[in-house]
Structure 1
Amino acid sequence: MEKYAATLNSLNINCLVCHNRNAITHKWSDGYPRRDTVYGLSGEGEHPDDKFTAMKPSPVMSESIFCGQCHGLGPNLELENPTQCATAYGSYLFAYVPEGGNETCVECHMKKSGLGHNMQSFRVKEMSDLAVDMHVDAKAIVWRDVSTMRPKATVKVELTNRAGHGIPDG
């Protein structure tokens, strides 16, 4: 994680993106995030920080639309390694949910993966193991072609997307 710190800092992606700036989506009914407050899934009280001295629950942090605020706006072509992760929420909403999917982004990327706040995509084993079911059936054969014997193989590969959105993505 440390090797990516400079990139994250240049993008201004840090704890406060989720735990303050985006923690309240319905500002008309819930108000704007307070400048001195860290928002989370539960708990209200004091927070041990000089600038962010209060903790409050976020009304939306456990919902997938919370993640969709950033991961639903289109491709990130400004990055050195462009990715389509910004469309993950649309894929989740229009493919996974209509097929009966009911897990949220947080449930897979934080809880089921066991990664917690070290949220990752398919690039780490924990996430790729959750996202794709792979079955390979291979058979070696020797093909006799009049004057030569050539080894060959037949390989059947089945990949099943178990992620809540299109992959590779996220």
Structure 2
Amino acid sequence: MTAASPKPQVDTSKPHPARVYDYLLGGKDNYPVDHEVALKLPEASKMDARLNRAFMHRAVAWVARSGIDQYLDIGTGIPTEPNLHQIVQGIAPASRVVYTDNDPIVLRHAEALLISTPEGVTDYIEADVRAPQEILDHARGLLDFDRPIALSLIALMHFLPDDDDPYT
């Protein structure tokens, strides 16, 4: 019997974009260090976060009504209802969704909250957008890469510095 690898620890002494975003949306899954960052943002940031969330809802609903039933959401953030899988599985119950984020606290919430419809599948991988092969290898276990897959990178790419070469 092999020992399970330890789960990564959540560092609550440093802010994380997923938790700051959760705070801006009025969520409860954030820490004082995240509040401090959020309070330094322009006043419109809270409205911008809500508008961004509303855009995601409209976009994935449109995609689901267009017949796409596979989704790869990279940089998912802390699950806030309704989340992507709830929107698309409400339209196409057999939809398959793979969520990805690099924050261990997102993983904890994903394990509890990302529950699929009986017809569909919802999965989660803790990984970084800068490790695309790891994400794709995991997603291939659930998604059919010979069929269309909607890729969601909502509110993510601006966190990558130019040194990470996000353009390639």
Q: From the two aligned structures, give the one with the greater strand fraction.
A: 1
Bigger CA radius of gyration: 1
- TM tier relative to shorter chain: under 0.3
In proportion to residue count, which structure has more helix? 2
